[in-house]
Structure 1
Amino acid sequence: LSAFIPYANELGFFLDLTEICNTIVTTPSQETSDAGVPLATPALIHVIFLLGSHLSTSTQVNVLEPRFLSIAQGSVSHILSSTATTPVTSGTSNHPHWIVLEAIQSHVLLAQYYFHTGRKLEGKYSVTIAIALVLGTGMHRIRGVFVSDSETLQTQFQGGNEVTQCINAFWTVLALNSRWAAVEGYGSSFPYWKPAMRIDTPWPWVSYC
């Protein structure tokens, strides 16, 4: 965990890092805290540990990387009840908002790991899943635009903090896709040419540059 924290912003961590770290350290085995606050999913914890083992300067920690990779791959693929191989354009509203956000975060971090270890095809796949999630929940149309089920994103994700995280999630995924599309020379996975893809989300409230 200590090896991951200094690089969290550079890796596109858009959730509340302090809250997530406190969750990992204090209540890793519960679904919610005593106050009813959602905690980090195992998938997100596993990906953080994976990146931590990769970034660590300790050889004793580095040797755990293959094990963490195997665990992270399995847990991330099952973070939502819908299979990760199916485009998520509906049904995500059946999940608590924090699980959707953590699913996006997990795929972003896993994609970063894949790209930085030369596993580019797997990285692109994780980015594609993250894109499907942000588009499927209407995070590209946050500014009062109604999504397909006639509920605004602000209604789906109650509270200013969640909306902020949704805004940051969208722009993090967009930036990650654009950066690697440019580096690798493949087309963007965002369907910019479709009218429904018109972006109406405010600029991110936190910079990850």
Structure 2
Amino acid sequence: MDMAEKLIDIFLPFSSEVGFFLNTSRFRHSALIRHPIGHPSRPSPAVLAAVYLWGLRLSKQPFLTTQEPIFLFRALERLAKGLSGIHPQKAMHNLQAEILLSYYFFASGRFLEGRYHTAAAISLGLGSSIHMVRSAHSTSLSLLRPARDAVEEGERIHACWIAMILDKIWAVALSDAPNLDHQHESCAVDTPWPLEMNAYEEGRFSPTARYSNTFHNFVNCVPTSDTGMSTIALLSKATILWQRADSLARQWRPDMPWDQFTSFHTSFLALDSLIDTFRAGLVPLNCIAHLTPAMARILVVAHSIAYAATIRLHSVIPLAMDVNARCKRLTAARAVLEIVVAIPLHHFGFINPIMGTVWLSASQVLVDELHLLRRQHVPRQGEVEAHTMLFTRALEVLLTFSDSCPLLGYRISRIQEICVGMP
């Protein structure tokens, strides 16, 4: 139990970076009850094993990290048996374990296994109807019993959006389609935007409110009373926009017929406007009362992904062809790297592994711009120096994340490679 407590306490401060949606104080209390593993008062064996696995990874202590293969085997073994057991929280805890293992595999560069567990998480989430929490419409049969209280309901709301974030961010990173198209009627999300977890603890979630078409209303700019301004809600919205930008960008063909181009252009302008509007309304880090380190990290990821959406959307237009697209892409890339430079490193011993993809895309834009400036007959030396200085300062910060996980290390090494070719 002493080792269990150590691993849990290593994991929980950074749990939000790898999709942990359970209430942390309740989880820690129940995990450390002196009962055998599998006891209904403790978390399920599957989620405990996944948490211990991440605790080992985050410890950065060689005598612990060498045990990762053993704990990974144990986590997979327990996960396979999770739904056949009698644990009262088996569905939600298995879903949590699937999400944690997805992030573990993605962070390790094991993308096929990450995609497999992401698909399993999405399937289990649908079966549990976490996309219909507090739905104004009739709900389908669910694997879940009614929530005991507001905190448990809050966990289910967080689970809905955290599963969606997992599915969409890694679809973008792997240039793939997500498992779910949330605009499809069968996958409509009625679950409200998540509040901060302490809001559920303090009873600030209306017990009678009902919601509908949360996802649809956001992407179609339909005003609602459910504004979704918590850190997880903002990250969810940024993720939706990034994935939609990626999906639209992959539809681009320079030789597409005129009718397809007209439709594409209309969608492009609408999405570009929505991204700009969302970014303009993003809460700055210094404007949130009682900002915790976890909230700060989530906001950094949300702001960065929102800018990554602009970069991805405008990547379909060749740099030399459209000055406006070039300017928007460059401004967004600089914003991502300026966020990096401003990171308070004492709160950031670990960050969501997807940030490697975001940082690499922004760095590539800045290097491409430097190449363009150098090719001009009269290079704008002031701009060259400003871009170079920002890139250099950002790289210094990024290198501190190199040993966070294999994927971040690889992405940062790629940034170093393009830096070598920087004019």
Q: Calculate the TM-score normalised by the size of structure 1.
A: 0.82
Q: Which structure 2 residues correspond to residues 44-83 of structure 1 after superposition, within 5 A? A: 44-81=47-84
1:29 aligns with 2:36: yes
1:168 aligns with 2:158: yes
Distance 1:20 1:27, change over 3 A: farther
Q: Distance in 1 between matches of 2:182 and 2:33?
A: 42
Distance 1:67 1:198, change over 3 A: same
1:44 partner letter: V
Coordinate RMSD, CA, aligned? 2.1
Per-residue deviation, residues 45-96 of structure 1 (Å, max 9, x unmatched): 11111111112121111111111011111111111029xxxxxxxxxxx973
1:201 partner letter: T
Per-residue deviation, residues 98-133 of structure 1 (Å, max 9, x unmatched): 221111111110101000001111111111111111
1:3 partner letter: I
1:7 aligns with 2:7: no
Distance 1:163 1:46, change over 3 A: same
Residue 27 of structure 1: CA displacement? 2.7
Q: Distance in 2 between matches of 1:173 and 1:111?
A: 10
2:160 partner letter: F
2:23 to 12, 16, 39: 16
Q: Structure 1 or 2: larger helix share?
A: 2
Q: Distance in 2 between matches of 1:107 and 1:29?
A: 22
**Structure number with larger C-alpha Rg:** 2
Question: Which secondary structure state, in structure 2, belongs to the residue aligned with residue 26 of structure 1?
Answer: coil
2:177 partner letter: G
Per-residue deviation, residues 134-153 of structure 1 (Å, max 9, x unmatched): 1112111223332234x8x7
Question: Which secondary structure state, in structure 2, belongs to the residue aligned with residue 69 of structure 1?
Answer: helix
Residue 23 of structure 1: CA displacement? 2.3
Per-residue deviation, residues 25-56 of structure 1 (Å, max 9, x unmatched): 23351613xxxxx4201111111111111121
Structure 1 range deviating more: 65-74 or 15-24: 15-24
1:204 aligns with 2:211: no
1:64 partner letter: Q
Provide structure 2 residue ranges, at least 5 long, that are not aligned to the other structure. Answer: 1-6, 197-230, 233-297, 299-423
1:140 aligns with 2:131: yes
Specify the alignment match of 1:86 in structure 2: none
Q: Calculate the TM-score normalised by the size of structure 2.
A: 0.42
Distance 1:158 1:22, change over 3 A: closer
2:108 partner letter: T
Question: Which secondary structure state, in structure 2, belongs to the residue aligned with residue 179 of structure 1?
Answer: helix
Question: Which secondary structure state, in structure 2, belongs to the residue aligned with residue 158 of structure 1?
Answer: coil
Q: Distance in 1 between matches of 2:27 and 2:182?
A: 33
1:100 aligns with 2:96: no
* Count, aligned residues: 189
1:21 partner letter: R
Q: Distance in 1 between matches of 2:110 and 2:35?
A: 29
Structure 1 stretches (4+) deviating beyond 6 angstroms?
A: none
Report the identity percentage.
29
Distance 1:28 1:181, change over 3 A: farther
